[in-house]
Chains A and B, each alone.
Chain A
Amino acid sequence: MQLVPTQHYLILAAVLFCLGMLGVLVRRNALVVFMCVELMLNAANLTFLAFARERGDVTGHLSAFFIIAVAAAEAAVGLAIVIAVFRSRGTVNIDELHTMKH
């Protein structure tokens, strides 16, 4: 049986990661930025799973499992922060949020 080479999956993961990163860098809407971070996390998951099959080690699956849990926690807290920011500033456009300058 001819298997799809691992590098195909890895390159797909790289594409996903870079698309996510591009989104983080260019989008101004904080919610979309969050979604792009989720994309990047999924790229990492894909890499773990690809290597898990390559090496026959289910530890990669477990890592993906933990990443999903962490992503859920991150989404919950991150969205709560977005709501809090929106409540105090009336916007989620990160162009207008320059608090790190002070």
Chain B
Amino acid sequence: MSAEFVLFWVFAIATAMSALGVIVTKNPIASAMSLVATFFFLAGIYVLLWAHTVAVLQVMVYAGAIMVLFLFVIMLLSLGEDTSMTKFSPTRIIGGVATAGLLAALVLAFRKLPEASTGWAASVDQLKAFGTLSQLGDVLYKQWLFPFEAVSLLLLVAIVGAVVVAKPRI
């Protein structure tokens, strides 16, 4: 069993546990902190997948920016504990059953996939270059320039939209 496997299992179990923590804790602050932990462990998984750049972005944007936003809002609204967790309703039962069924279906489907391979790589250099910032930047600014610019516009719209929706009067 190689080190990679060990790391994968550690990160995978930690990710799943912290994700479970998001949905079972009653306090929203605890949920948010569990989510931050999930993002960190996921970043580790991304590194294992040779996606170093995305891993860094994950930590910076998700754990750094988005979660701070969440925490600010929780503080701002000073929300108490969610007491409705123990109530069971037909909706919740249907939702739980459906989600479990969905998971089963997905697992069944994914088990049929082939093992991983690096057959696409012609040389070791190619393997080493995969997922680096330079390679990503090359593709992003050459082939995906228009979507990239479109995303910048989307963020601008989101900023304006957030201001318009959140402010009582403009």
Q: Which one, A5, A20, A28, A95, contacts B115 given CB within 8 A?
A: A5
| Total of A-B residue pairs, C-beta within 8 Å | 234
B73 to chain A: closest CB distance in Å? 5
* B82 and A32 within 8 A (CB): yes
Q: How far is the CA of A76 from the CA of B115 in the complex (A)?
A: 39
Interface of B is mostly: helix
0 or 1 for each of B137-155: is its CB under 8 Å from A? (1 = yes):
0011000100100010011
Does A46 contact B45, Cβ atoms closer than 8 Å?
yes
Cα(A18)–Cα(B155), bound, Å: 28
- Interface residue? A69 (CB, 8 A): yes
Binding site for B on A (CB under 8 A): 1-12, 14-23, 25-29, 31-32, 34-36, 38-39, 42, 45-46, 49-50, 52-56, 58-59, 61-62, 64-66, 68-77, 79-84, 86-87, 92-93, 95
Q: Is the CB of A17 within 8 A of B106?
A: yes
> Which residues of B are found within 8 Å of A6, using beta-carbon distances?
113-116
Query: Min CB distance, B80 to chain A, in Å?
Result: 10
A-B contact pairs, 27 of them (CB 8 A): A4-B48, A7-B115, A14-B107, A16-B15, A19-B16, A26-B95, A28-B84, A29-B79, A31-B77, A35-B35, A38-B66, A39-B19, A53-B116, A53-B131, A54-B116, A58-B139, A62-B139, A62-B140, A62-B144, A72-B61, A73-B154, A75-B66, A76-B162, A80-B162, A83-B76, A83-B165, A93-B84
Which residue of chain A has the shortest Cβ distance to B5 in the bound complex?
A4
